[in-house]
Structure 1
Amino acid sequence: MVVAVLWGGNFIALDQGLGHFPPFFFAGLRFAVLLPVLLFVPRPQVKWRWLIGYGLFFGTLQFAFLFVAMEIGMPTGLASLVQQASAPFTVVLGALLLREKLTPVQLLGISAAVLGMVAIGWHRAQTATLLPLLITVCGAFSWALGNLCSRKAEAPNPLHLTLWIAIVPPLPMFTASTLVEGPSTGWHALTTVLDSPTGIAALTGLAYTSLLATVIGSGLWTTLLGRYPASTVAPFSLLVPVVGFSTAWLLLGERPHPFELAAGAVVVGGVLLGSARINRRRAALEPAPV
């Protein structure tokens, strides 16, 4: 739930960052600022293919798709919702590729959460164009593939894995920025950040998305994926749009419709059902009353 709060607020940070930086450059900068930290952090003892796969799918493609979608008109609150399609993607891929089993209660909870998410998406999609929605869904699928790479990595120290994926996104992101946005556009935005009226907000957004969302949020998420099945952890990401809608309402004036609030309650209830395996495991470990 802490991760959901951090990631839900992250969409406000992304909105502020994209108000000043072009999307591909901002996506690369998000991870490039973490590279000096790696001088003091040992490389995680995992196979290179899972480290690079996690960095490619979770760190590179997910945010490339998301940032472009937001840049071309994806509303902040709706982006926080559609991105959580990664949860059912992760559950399905985990069952197909990792042979993880689902309980009937989990299936019921996940189905309810997805139903609530689809209802909000359908309602929001009435005022949004199709292309940003499709691009955001591509980002969600990339996130799901990254979740599986993280789980397969089985990192002894998940925080080290989260930090070391920072070696992957900068090069492809800055290359894409040079080819698509222009060789000097991003660097000009960086060198003039303190002189721009949107610069301070963009730097604050960069700090939030790099430290709170990536280091702390993704570090906790990676830890959870290492301890519990993907089908147990992934549904919690469906809480992110509830936080995203709330923060977008308070800070950006994006007021949710009562229908969306009701559907959000269905999402929360579905997540609680989807996490039933954790609750039963905890109950089994507690001593019986004497």
Structure 2
Amino acid sequence: MDLSATGVAPKDGKALAAASTTVVLWASAFVAIRSAGEHFGPGSLALGRLLVGAVALLGLLVYRREGLPPRAAWPGTAVSGVLWFGLYMVALNWGEKQVDAGTAAMLVGIGPVLIALLGGWLLREGLPPKLLAGMAVALAGAVVVGLSMSGGGGSSVRGIVLCLLAAVAYAAGVVGQKPALRHATALQVTTFGCLIGAVACLPFAPQLVSDLAAAPPSATLDVVYLGLFPTALAFTTWAYALSRTTAARMGATTYSVPTLVVLMAWLLLGEAPEPLTLVGGALCLAGVAVSRRS
């Protein structure tokens, strides 16, 4: 039964906890990527992260004896693996090397809008008025955060295109993943999506070997952290929550990521946010609250 159609999904405590875990861990990934990106190329960083995640997920899958997903789940799993686990990670890693963090967050912030539009069209989820209103408020907040953080530097056209490509890949991957979750568990879909993404990134293996040889231990630990937590754990909790609500509502939840990134950068990197950034963050959270009530 589709819980989102019954009104249970927004009040599902486990799903909400899973979504919250995902948001916090994905926000922490921006800090780790910033550190690891100084020593790893975009492709090698994505491959290293995915390999660590795939090993951890396969181990858990064997432990739980869940086995292979049913045949009906493979098309959606493959789409999410290639587009979200593979293309999205490489494009975002590359784009953030050429544009500042604020601009990247603002550009990738169109992802939830695309998820809602694609979900409403392809998955027939509809577009409730409160969801649209919440998305509009949250998107405005993401734009404010992006503008407040984009201060001094200029953005390259290539970097902008790469961040937009990441947003499209993210949205398409989520919409592709949703049908797979009707036939397989969150762990199965995440494990094989991650594995497919790693296979798609294998051309970067020589660069990964070279980067690992030259990188300091702290950067390698960043890659391990990214694989275990923002990838293995966070993508599994995401899939669990997505199986219990609509793609559009889950996409709207991620609008709070930029706000958390600002707070983490403030606490961990000593980068104090501008007042305008705090206003944008408040709008993001307000928009998420409205969208979850739809």
Q: CA shift at 1:122, angstroms?
A: 3.2
AA in 2 matched with 1:224: A
CA deviation profile, 1:119-165 (whole Å, cap 9, x unmatched): 22234445341432331121011111011111011243102211111
The equivalent of 1:145 in structure 2 is: 172
Pick one of 207, 211, 221 that aligns with 2:228.
Answer: 211
- Deviations along 1:234-257, whole A, 9 cap, x unmatched? 111000001111112222333321
State the 1:87 CA deviation. Answer: 0.9
Shift of 1:77: 5.1
Secondary structure at the residue paired with 1:168? Answer: helix
Match of 2:279 among 241, 262, 270: 262
- Count, aligned residues: 265
Which residue is 2:8 aligned to?
A: none
Alpha-carbon distance between aligned partners in 2 of 1:251 and 1:82, rounded to the nearest angstrom: 24
Residue of structure 1 equivalent to 2:253: 236
Give the structure-2-normalised TM-score.
Answer: 0.83
Contact 2:256 2:285 in 1 (8 A): yes
Contact conserved, 1:8 with 1:80, CA < 8 A, in 2? no
- Show the counterpart of 1:82: 107
Question: Whole-Å Cα distance in 2 between the matches of residues 135 and 35 of structure 1?
Answer: 25
Give the structure with higher Rg (CA).
1
Q: Does 1:246 align with 2:263?
A: yes
Contiguous gaps of at least 5 residues in structure 2: 1-19
**Within 5 A, what are the aligned runs for 1:173-192?**
173-175=201-203, 177=204, 183=206, 185-192=207-214
CA shift digits 1:193-221 (9 cap, x unpaired): 4xxxxx22212211221111111111111
Measured in 1, the distance between the counterparts of 2:79 and 2:125 equals 20
CA–CA distance in structure 1, aligned partners of residues 169 and 55 of structure 2: 26
Match of 2:197 in 1: 169
CA distance in 1, matches of 2:148, 2:104: 13
Match of 1:121 among 134, 141, 146: 146
Q: 1:191 to 1:8 in 2, by over 3 A?
A: same
Distance 1:156 1:144 in 2: 20
Structure 1 21/130 Cα, relative in aligned 2: closer, same or farther at 3 Å?
closer
Question: Quick one: which amino acid aligns to residue 264 of structure 2?
Answer: T
2:85 is aligned with what amino acid?
G
TM superposition shift of 1:80: 4.2
Mapping of residues 1-290 of structure 1, within 5 Å: 1-37=20-56, 38=58, 40=62, 42-45=67-70, 46-72=72-98, 74-76=99-101, 78-126=103-151, 127-131=153-157, 132-154=159-181, 155-175=183-203, 177=204, 183=206, 185-193=207-215, 199-277=216-294
Deviates more, 1:204-213 or 1:27-36: 27-36
Partner Cα distance (1:10, 1:35) in 2:
17
CA RMSD, 1 decimal: 2.0
Hey, what does 1:281 align to over in structure 2? Answer: none
Query: Aligned-pair distance for 1:26?
Result: 1.2
Percentage of pairs with the same residue: 25
- Change beyond 3 A, Cα 1:165–1:233: same
Contact 1:77 1:245 in 2 (8 A): no
Structure 1 unaligned residues grouped into runs of 5+: 194-198, 278-290
Q: Which residue number in structure 1 is paired with residue 10 of structure 2?
A: none
* Deviation readout 1:158-198 (Å, 9 max, x if unpaired): 022111112222333231x37xxxx4x431221344xxxxx
DSSP-derived class of the 2:184 partner = coil
Q: TM-score, normalised by structure 1?
A: 0.84
Q: By how many angstroms is 1:270 displaced?
A: 0.7
| Structure 2 letter corresponding to 1:13 | A
Give the Cα–Cα distance (whole angstroms) in 2 for the partners of residues 230 and 171 of structure 1: 26
Secondary structure at the aligned position of 1:101 is classed as coil
Retained in 2: the 8 A contact 1:16–1:205? yes
After TM superposition, the structure 1 stretch with the greater mean CA deviation from structure 2, 81-90 or 49-58, is 81-90
Offset of residue 67 of structure 1: 0.6
